[in-house]
Structure 1
Amino acid sequence: MGTTVFERFPPADATITESLRDAKHAPFWLDDVERPSYPALAGSAQADLVVVGGGYVGLWTAVRAKERDPQRSVIVLEAARVGWAASGRNGGFCEASLTHGHENGLSRWPEEIEQLERLGLENLDGIEQAVRRYGMDVDWERTGQLAIATEPHQIEWLEGDGFLGQDAVRSEVHSPTYLAGNWDREGCAMVHPAKLAIELARVATELGVVIHEQSRVTGISGSGRQTVSVAGGATVTADHVALATNVFPSLLKRNRLMTVPVYDYALMTEPLTQEQHDAIGWRNRQGLADSANQFHYYRLSADNRILFGGYDAIYHFGGKVRAEYEERPETYRKLASHFFTTFPQLEGLKFTHRWAGAIDSCSRFCAFYGTARSGRVAYATGFTGLGVGASRFGADVMLDKLAGVDTERTRLKMVRTKPIPFPPEPAAAIGVNVVRASMDRADHNEGRRNLLLKGLDAIGMGFDS
């Protein structure tokens, strides 16, 4: 078994320890903003559409619903605070891909891949247009994304349009670990995650949407109009319901085994000095991601901090979402170590924040869609870490389905099919962790996938990203 560059050239333990000494255990993005509050639902209410969940999927659904029909009454119910979960904790990569990358889409829907990529770019353009139209203060930067090879076997994976050899990629971003790169200039924008959620909520309310925080939905009932019940006894009766609960347990039993929560971890540095920024280049401010199975993603914030996250993806037995899973010192130390291997010239830089969040992972690695209760309830979930951009597309799919209309979106095989469900425990935990070990082994064996991974590929269980 070989080693990776992060094992061959680790920084000193003292460098890691000192960099993390004062890091606050909190998502930087949520620490960086003031969030307006919305009242909890009290009593009973009526609406044309109820949206369950106040993250990106739910907020885009509310906004897009009002854009389609300004007279439609829309209520959003959020269990905690708007954007507090994945929508306020992610890396802020707003990608065009609807399929978790070209290769994942090509392997599953080869006959649709060109159409899916066109629709993905149109969706990203639509987000950018909304940012401009509504004057949304979200630190939007359409800088693209630079994929990086840090091991020789990864170089051929990046060949094609946008390819950069070693000298060219290092001229973009100065890292001794970079062997090659591929710059997708149009397919990704950088955004402040929490600001995007806050601004979507602002736009929604200005369009007439009513938002209720601290209003946890406990169930849906009714044979015609649906009654949505909220903890504490409040209810909303509505013609249609859009479920945007993502990583949290589905309100539909049929979807309980379709996703699992996988924890992702991130660090944020203090702002770079001009000298530190000069030392790494990065003048074009692209999002960066390396090419291993266990990959890192990193980007610059508006005030020139570096977010560095990824690599470890941790599943806990039982598939629960719990705050205690967010503190994992060994992962934060690993991320800090890999950061200083990537940028040894930044030794002495401190991390100000460390945090984690749960990703709604499904076996095909991208969202799936459907309806229930005679078409009165719709859902979009399973974004598997790529929902910042795809959430708007998911909102449009749900609204199409609730309206019962035939559109280019609803005709897609990608939209009409479902992923393979995960097995119940203990098989889920065993399977996820064995697959994770196999992917790590592939990264240490020139990318060669073992029989388990090849078998999962053959039955459509993904794990190629």
Structure 2
Amino acid sequence: MELSYWELKNWFSNVDFTIVGSGIVGLHTALRLRERFPKSKILILEKGALPQGASTKNAGFACFGSLSEIIDDLATHSEEEVIQLVQKRWNGLQLLRKGLGDSVIDFKPFGGYELFLQQDEFLYQDCLQKMPFINDLLRPFFKADVFAKQVDRFGFGNIHENVVFNPFEAQIDTGNMMQALLKKAIENDILILNRITVTGFSDNGSHVSISLQDFAFNTDKLLFATNGFAGQLTQNAVKPARAQVLITKPIPDLDIKGTFHFDRGYYYFRNIGDRILFGGGRNLDFEGETTSQFGNTEIIQNRLEELLKAVVLPNTPFEVEHRWSGIMGIGASKRSIVEALSNNVFCGVRLGGMGVAIGSLVGQELADLL
């Protein structure tokens, strides 16, 4: 592509910071850089028409881990690491709320619930048995019990009578959040270019050369905020993980309010007004869902509908209106990767499905590496 003098001058010359990815992490990185370097030229490159990955596609859960997820994490992480993970997620949520405002992101503190299917007897008993220990672990930070046993009051089907309630969970409007972040970036003189794919880069010591599909340009610093797509360019220990979701048409007199998990967090649902958003099922086909390709599969979508009918809305007719997918970034560790790849190249990736919770914090940490 042949660029004009004006295009070169305004967008691709004297660039101080180039960020790849305009999602939650990328936008918070840019805003933090603007705070630290008020006169700098900041450019964000985004390969999609809208932020790719999961930033505009996630379910809008303001959560930091269900009881069973935290118990599972203790099998692969130390107690101190698990506490730090929860603290980071909670602090990230507070940072997001402070930066944008609860009314803007439609923050609703309905609380969160974990359900246990009737066939998951061992998981149910294990969680109830370990709940006091997990509460003791988290109490110094939250100054209260995080998890409590409650009788299911929503009329769910094929589950144990008791659910685990978490009063600290909430839900947000993902679309409102991302629109507000994009607006804030533009107001802070941050340039955002969409439909731009980075094909390569080279740190030349004094600057970084960035290759795009049709041309190349130089930047002083390059920062990757590409999460599930990070492995394609940065060679980081990040695997893409597709998450499939559906949403119903409006349901008259829907009484379900809150965020809900079951089957160790592999399934999750919430109300959006009088609709139900339901997602998950990646555990049905780990190999197939370890992909950076968007799309839906029959095995998972059929299972979502089965569970929606049998568990979530057992006595309520519903129609599915829309389906979509998002791409998360996961790895062997739940800790995000925020590090320098060379003198002038940095990354903030592997959010482990907790982008809403930690995206703002990872963005700040990435900007503060410089």
State the TM-score bracket (shorter-chain normalisation). 0.7 to 0.9
Alignment partners' CA distance in 2, 1:263 and 1:288: 20
Counterparts in 2 of 1:328 and 1:113: CA distance versus 1, 3 Å = closer
> 2:30–2:367: 8 Å Cα contact kept in structure 1?
no
* Percent identity for Structure 1 against Structure 2: 22
**Cα offset, 1:319, TM superposition:** 5.9
Give the counterpart of 1:379 among 336, 347, 350: 347
Q: Distance in 1 between matches of 2:98 and 2:26?
A: 19
TM-score scaled to structure 2, two decimals? 0.82
Query: 1:212 Cα shift?
Result: 0.7
1:360 has 2:337 as partner: no
Alignment of 1:211-290 (within 5 A): 211-221=192-202, 222-235=204-217, 237-250=218-231, 252-255=233-236, 258-274=237-253, 277=254, 281-282=255-256, 285-290=257-262
Are the counterparts in 1 of residues 69 and 264 from structure 2 also a CA contact under 8 Å? no
Alignment length (residue pairs): 339
SS in 2 for 1:111: helix
Q: Identify if the C-alpha distance between structure 1 residues 252 and 179 changes in structure 2 by more than 3 Å, giving closer, same or farther.
A: same
Match of 1:60 in 2: 28
Quote the Cα distance in structure 2 between the aligned partners of 1:246 and 1:209.
21
Q: How does 1:49-198 map to 2 (within 5 A)?
A: 49-96=17-64, 102-103=70-71, 106=74, 107-132=76-101, 137-150=104-117, 151-155=120-124, 156-158=126-128, 159-160=131-132, 161-165=145-149, 168-171=150-153, 173-176=154-157, 177-186=159-168, 188-198=169-179
Aligned to 1:288, the other structure's residue is in SS state: strand
Q: Is the 8 A contact 1:83 1:198 kept in 2?
A: no
Give the secondary-structure state (helix, strand or coil) at the position aligned to 2:231: coil
User: Cα distance 1:81–1:109, how it changes in 2: closer, same or farther (>3 A)?
Assistant: farther
Match of 2:142 in 1: none
**Partner SS state of residue 90, structure 1:** coil
**Cα pair 2:111 2:167 within 8 Å, conserved:** yes
Q: How does 1:318-357 map to 2 (within 5 A)?
A: 320-323=291-294, 326-357=295-326
Q: Identify the residue that residue 369 of structure 2 maps to in structure 1.
A: 401
Contact 1:268 1:351 in 2 (8 A): yes
User: 2:139 — aligned with what?
Assistant: none
The answer to whether the 8 Å contact 1:57/1:394 transfers is: yes
TM-score, structure 1 normalization: 0.66
- CA RMSD across the alignment: 2.7
The DSSP-based 3-state class of the residue aligned with 2:151 is helix
1:207 offset after TM fit, Å? 1.4
Tell me: CA distance 1:101–1:170, structure 2 relative to 1, closer, same or farther (3 Å).
closer
Shift, 1:332, TM fit? 1.1
Structure 2: unaligned runs, 5 residues or longer: 1-5, 133-144
Q: One-letter code of the match for 2:105?
A: V
Closer/same/farther in 2, CA of residues 319 and 181 from structure 1, 3 Å limit? closer
**Aligned equivalents of 1:113, 1:343: Cα separation in 2:** 30
SS in 1 for 2:13: strand
Amino acid corresponding to residue 399 of structure 1 in structure 2:
A
What amino acid is aligned across from residue 247 of structure 2 in structure 1? M
CA distance in 1, matches of 2:13, 2:73: 42
